[in-house]
Amino acid sequence: MQGKGLPPSVPPPAVASSITADIAQYAPAEQAGGTSGADTGSTYQGTVPTGSAQNTAKLLLSKFGWAASEFIPLNKLWGTYESGWNPHARNPSSGAFGIAQALGHGTSCSAAPDGTNEYGPEYGLTCAEARAANSGSIRWQIEWGLGYIKARYGSPTAALAHELSQTPHSY
């Protein structure tokens, strides 16, 4: 097939060491040399981030001035305690919605077609972006959630600490 406009079949440069380092940062405790079971608070107990929501969040951390390591508490906060990264998650008792579990921050300008308006035009979103978040947009729910965390707690680490200090858990 060479000479037909296709690139030569040469393997890409080795990046195994950087991939291994990235994965190790997010590996479950038993893979990272820790112990499984009780959360020690110092060893991340989750799984390797996958999916568009987690990747979107990882990419947006720097926009809010945070290091990549802030994904660890963010993953625990949204992945374990809040929505499980589900953009359509609904808390049956509070009504909180989406990945960041927004609760009643919307206005008439931000309502989705079904009338829901938990995500509002604050924490960095326009009315149109908040409307998209209320309709299940992963990107705009994450942007709103990170803006909320920045304004209210300063960082995902501080938001998770607050979450864990509440009974029942909430941030």
pLDDT band at residue 63 under the 50/70/90 scheme: very high
| Predicted local confidence at residue 6, as pLDDT | 45
Angle (CA) 41-59-84 rounded to 5° is 50
Query: What is the pLDDT, as a whole number, of residue 49?
Result: 53
pLDDT given at position 2: 43
User: What three-state secondary structure class fits 102?
Assistant: strand
Residue 8 has pLDDT above 80, yes or no: no
pLDDT of 142 reads 97
Each residue's pLDDT tens digit, 11-62: 444 433 433 343 344 433 333 333 333 333 333 344 445 688 999 999 999 9
How is residue 154 written in tokens? 């300063």
Q: What pLDDT is stored for residue 167 in this prediction?
A: 84
Q: What is the CA radius of gyration of the chain?
A: 19
Asked whether the beta carbons of 143 and 56 are under 8 A apart, the reply is no
Other beta carbons within 10 angstroms of residue 127's beta carbon come to: 15
Read out DSSP for 22-83? HHHHH--HHHHTS-SSS--SSS--S----HHHHHHHHHHGGGGT--GGGHHHHIIIIIIII-
**Unique residue bearing structure tokens 């989406």:** 98
What's the rounded Cα separation, in Å, for the pair 161 and 171?
9
The per-residue pLDDT for range 96-150, each reduced to its tens digit, is: 999 999 999 999 999 999 888 999 999 999 999 999 999 999 999 999 999 999 9
What integer pLDDT is reported at residue 154 of this predicted model?
Answer: 97
Q: How many C-alpha atoms does 70 have within 13 Å on its Cβ side?
A: 21
Could you tell me the pLDDT band of residue 168, with boundaries at 50, 70 and 90? confident
pTM: 0.71
The per-residue b/e assignment along 39-71, b for 16 or more CB within 10 angstroms, e otherwise, is: eeeebbbbeebeeebbebbbebbeebebeeebb
pLDDT of residue 9: 46
